Chain A
């Protein structure tokens, strides 16, 4: 697609958006003015009744009196003039027929009020006020309708009953033209204002449509970039995890080589025992059992290794107790710690509280903390790492504490920054803690350094699974 075609399409899209917006806004405007007129009609009706009551409440014959016809007209005719537009304003707001009916009834209300006032010239201002109100519709055809009603009313009454509209008995035959001309005089300005206002409304819609289009483009771009960034983060997390695993590769090999040596030794024992005295089944059985146990140990290590090394980014959350998650992590690093004479102290882990998590990701956090702890204390005299967990309200807190004496405040501030590391060159890239923090926060929890502990302690605070899917959804 070349750029000119794209530009034309964009223009058409903006135009179409502007048209939709304009129609919607114009309809909103018409509905709003319909409702305004509904209120005005009711007000005029009540005001007309009040006026009739004050000016001509009764008609008299000596001492007898009865209600004046003006009061009845104000109630009944005024009520009919108000009722229909009010009904339409609430049942068919925004419709063309509604505003035309309102225009007709508003001008007939003027006619009624002019009649009730005996054609007083002051009451004619109601006509001009009504036209100004009708101009709020920004529809010049409404003004033309209203003007036609006024002109016809003046013409007809001027013909048959001039006193009621002009206040005098013998007006000129063209007096209605004079009255209509003053209305037209006002119409010129109002119609200009309607057309201009409508055009301004359209231009506003066009600008808004353009803006919305630009916003949409930016939003799409941000979404694309966010997705790319998320993918990059995912790759970094996976690579960091594998790097952590790499740190343990030597000790893991050792962890596997030892049991293999045991298996080989026991297998040779079996061979020798069979050569010497095959009847000693019990002894052979013991060797074989040792081989089976050792094989299971290797399987456990391999299972943990496999589980850890695979990418768990897309894993669905599972509901699991924290204990096995911790234990499986410790299997992976126990040999390294043993070789470095670092004691792993595991305090009793609670079985009951369960968490909704991706076990692989939580293991990644724990392994990272274990490796950090190892690196920090491997040259100390006192070398231990304590792993514990406990329930705290709606959360489970996992503590990884080492025998170090804490982290200086100036370094604490930078702990969660990416690419910040205190390890020597080639030992770390400074992403472990920031990734750990991201993982725990994605689980709806909190990852932090505990400054009040006399030793170096990191805390994983994870929400407990409360028997619903809410936490899982929040984490997702």
Chain B
């Protein structure tokens, strides 16, 4: 009898562990990063220029964030659907004093270098990210040819999950048809900055 009770308790604990484990995974995957302030237009101090007459997409990424792999994959799909009408700049965070070997030799960098119409940049200490109010790796900002912000946010639906989603579809719609109902989505990914260095955005 005691043995039966013990087995029942262990079974329930085991089930609880499974439910809790899967629950934690789901919660983590659906937890968006910090949103940051809304960007109104092209920052004057930006180190890159608008790609007039084309659309310009600026993506901010932490080079070691595993979740951003899905963002880059989705960006690849966006580029395939927008037919050379989109110019992309990806800014990869790099801390001051960080070695190129450690921060610029990652698989994300490798992918970015091989993508069409894309230029990868080192974002020393996240200077550009601060200018564009990006706090979360995977945040993209889409500019119209005239410099207006069309869309800002994530182009994945959750952390590390590739595939169709509202953000990705919005970018494609804006570039291809110049219209979309979606102008903002949450971004899913690692923090670009350490917590104590979080942005005080302007």
Contact = CB atoms under 8 A, between A and B. Distances in A.
Contact of A62 (B24, B160, B191): B191
Nearest to A170: B164
A160 B160 CA distance: 17
Interface secondary structure of B, over-half rule: loop
Contacts of B26: 160-161, 164
Contacts of A60: 62, 64-65, 137, 190-191
A127 to B, nearest CB: 16
Contacts, number: 106
Contact of B163 (A55, A80, A115, A168): A168
B18 A118 contact: no
B62 A163 contact: no
A62 B95 contact: yes
Interface string B63-104: 011110110000000000000000000000101001000000
B73 to A, nearest CB: 9
B193 interface: yes
Interface string A113-138: 00100111000000000000000000
A475 B104 CA distance: 89
Interface in A33-81: 55-65, 68-70, 73, 76-77, 80-81
Contacts of B160: 56, 118
A63 B103 CA distance: 10
A68 B62 CA distance: 15
A167 interface: yes
Contacts of A115: 22, 25, 29
Nearest to B168: A169
A169 B155 CA distance: 11
Given A108-B18, A166-B163, 17 more contacts: A56-B66, A59-B190, A61-B190, A61-B193, A61-B194, A63-B95, A73-B21, A77-B17, A80-B17, A81-B18, A161-B26, A161-B30, A163-B157, A164-B158, A168-B164, A169-B163, A169-B164
18 contacts: A57-B66, A59-B67, A61-B191, A61-B195, A62-B194, A64-B194, A64-B195, A68-B66, A77-B25, A80-B18, A80-B21, A115-B29, A119-B162, A163-B165, A164-B161, A169-B164, A169-B166, A170-B166
Interface of A: 55-65, 68-70, 73, 76-77, 80-81, 84, 108, 111-112, 115, 118-120, 160-161, 163-164, 166-170
Interface of B: 14, 17-18, 21-22, 24-26, 28-30, 62, 64-67, 69-70, 93, 95, 98, 126, 137, 157-158, 160-166, 190-195, 197
